């Protein structure tokens, strides 16, 4: 028995060793049968077109050794002769340091822009429209850009400095731009300001209506007129254009009736606000800070355009009117020997400046903004350093004195046209300091 048990035990031991030496078996459980699909015929399908990545940050860098160069070519190098008819299918290329290409667009539209600057001056400004939105400066994408010539401005800086003053206030949005060298159809046209066009678009300000008051526009398109208040009487019927909504989006030139309901509603909005100001009950219908700051920027720069008015923008949103954006500061601005408040009777300000609450807030805003305004002469020096060489070349190409527009060549707008560049800069800075001093006496005395 002992022998048998021994052999049985040995048999079981041998069997266990045998099983332990066998390779491990993996059991695969079948899953659901896949649905039949289309045949993967790669030869019959075109590969997708790769989308070029957007550049990170602004297209035009903040720091450059020289001004960017803008090259625009029209088909067949046809001349740009109209401010109403686009030249289409043009190309644009912007280059930076060492000729590095920063931007290209092969479907640009270009036409003239401006009023007296287009019709009367030899160096022409332009309006360009890109095929796709682009963010040149890190300030937001847009298709619409302007090239300002600044021909009658000996400093080339009047608009740039006024825009900087506006950016230091509560005004919601101010156009941003930089100086460039412009080449059109192979011809070097000198120093231009490439900047954002005022429009309600994408990353710009929001508005239900964008209005512009401009007497020079009255014969161009279909406008409505509104009575504005000057002194204590109802003044002329001032032409007002609704810039937004854009009438071109409503096929206005073909069928104006599509846009008329918008004009009617916008006119009623403006009338309601004007009547509220006349009655002194305006706190709910205007943004008081922006109205104060818009007034202060124009007085600071001695821009008299609101008096007759030209290029005066206001926008309506959420039941309230906001002043701005500011525009057009190249005519007789930053000139010396002006010691009074000079646009107090323009637009709605004759009524607003009779209101104690508005005057109190205006005084507060002046005290708050004055320290920032006092550093603007430093900004003038910074911008002048950037364009110093470009300005010299530009003045050789486009001298603004003697003035070729007048018969005897003696006409001057800003009265620095016959000065050297440094003399014009010094005069501009002295005028600004003097103006700040004058306003610091006049505004607290209101």
How far does Cα 393 stand from its chain's mean position? 27
Residue 36 has pLDDT above 50, yes or no: no
Asked if residue 272 belongs to a domain, the reply is yes
Per-residue pLDDT averaged across 230-255, rounded?
68
Say which residue, 441 or 20, is predicted with more confidence.
Answer: 441
Asked if residue 213 belongs to a domain, the reply is yes
Asked if residue 326 belongs to a domain, the reply is yes
Number of Cβ within a 10 Å radius of residue 408: 7
Backbone angles phi, psi at 231, to 5 degrees: 55, -125
Residues in the chain: 446
Asked if residue 55 belongs to a domain, the reply is no
Asked if residue 303 belongs to a domain, the reply is yes
Predicted pLDDT of residue 202: 65
Highest mean pLDDT among 258-262, 264-268, 313-317: 313-317
Per-residue pLDDT averaged across 237-252, rounded?
80
User: How many domains is the chain partitioned into structurally?
Assistant: 1
Asked if residue 361 belongs to a domain, the reply is yes
128, 110 Cβ separation under 8 angstroms: yes
Q: 280: domain range?
A: 209-372+437-442
Say which residue, 371 or 278, is predicted with more confidence.
Answer: 371
Residue 238 has pLDDT above 80, yes or no: no
**C-alpha closest to that of 393 among 180, 93, 99:** 180
Asked if residue 167 belongs to a domain, the reply is no
Residue 339 has pLDDT above 90, yes or no: yes
Predicted pLDDT of residue 105: 93
Predicted pLDDT of residue 252: 73
How far does Cα 211 stand from its chain's mean position? 16
136, 58 Cβ separation under 8 angstroms: yes
The pair of structure tokens assigned to 236 is: 């002329």
Predicted pLDDT of residue 282: 94
Asked if residue 315 belongs to a domain, the reply is yes
Residue 212 has pLDDT above 50, yes or no: yes
């Amino acid at each position: 028995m002992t022998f048998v048990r021994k052999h049985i035990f040995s048999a079981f031991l041998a069997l266990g060793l045998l099983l332990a030496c066998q390779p491990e078996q993996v059991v695969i459980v079948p899953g659901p049968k896949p649905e039949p699909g289309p045949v993967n015929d790669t030869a019959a399908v075109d590969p997708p077109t790769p989308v070029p990545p957007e550049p990170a940050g602004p297209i035009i860098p903040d720091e450059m050794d020289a001004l960017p160069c803008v090259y625009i070519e029209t088909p067949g190098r046809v001349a740009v002769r109209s401010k109403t008819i686009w030249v289409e299918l043009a190309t644009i290329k912007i280059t930076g340091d060492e000729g590095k290409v920063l931007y290209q667009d092969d479907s640009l539209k270009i036409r003239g822009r401006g009023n007296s600057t287009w019709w009367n001056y030899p160096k022409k400004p332009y309006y360009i429209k890109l095929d796709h939105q682009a963010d040149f400066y890190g300030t937001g994408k847009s298709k619409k850009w302007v090239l300002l010539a600044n021909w009658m401005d000996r400093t080339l800086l009047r608009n740039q400095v006024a825009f900087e003053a506006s950016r230091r206030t509560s005004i919601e949005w101010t156009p941003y731009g930089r100086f460039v060298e412009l080449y059109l159809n192979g011809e070097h046209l000198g120093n231009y300001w490439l900047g954002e066009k005022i429009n309600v678009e994408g990353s710009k300000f929001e508005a239900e209506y964008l209005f512009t008051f401009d007497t020079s526009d009255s014969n161009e398109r279909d406008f409505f007129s509104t009575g504005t208040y000057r002194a204590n009487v109802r003044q002329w019927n001032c032409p007002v254009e609704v810039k937004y909504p854009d009438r071109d989006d409503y096929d206005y030139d073909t069928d104006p009736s599509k846009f008329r309901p918008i004009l009617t509603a916008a006119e009623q909005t403006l009338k309601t606000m004007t009547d509220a100001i006349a009655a002194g009950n305006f706190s709910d219908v205007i943004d008081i800070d922006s109205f104060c700051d818009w007034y202060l920027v124009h007085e600071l720069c001695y821009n008299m355009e609101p008096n007759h008015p030209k290029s005066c923008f206001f926008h309506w949103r959420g039941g309230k009117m906001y002043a701005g954006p500011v525009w057009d500061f190249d005519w007789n601005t930053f000139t010396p020997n002006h010691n009074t408040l000079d646009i107090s009777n323009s637009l709605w300000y004759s009524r607003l400046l009779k209101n104690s609450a508005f005057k109190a807030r205006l005084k507060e805003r002046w005290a708050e903004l004055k320290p920032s305004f006092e550093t603007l002469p430093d900004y003038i020096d910074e911008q002048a350093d950037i364009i110093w060489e470009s300005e010299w070349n530009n003045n050789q190409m486009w001298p603004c004195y003697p003035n070729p527009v007048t018969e005897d060549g003696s006409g001057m707008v800003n009265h620095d046209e016959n000065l050297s560049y440094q003399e014009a800069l010094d005069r501009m800075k002295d005028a600004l300091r003097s103006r700040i001093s004058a306003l610091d006496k006049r505004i607290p005395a209101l």
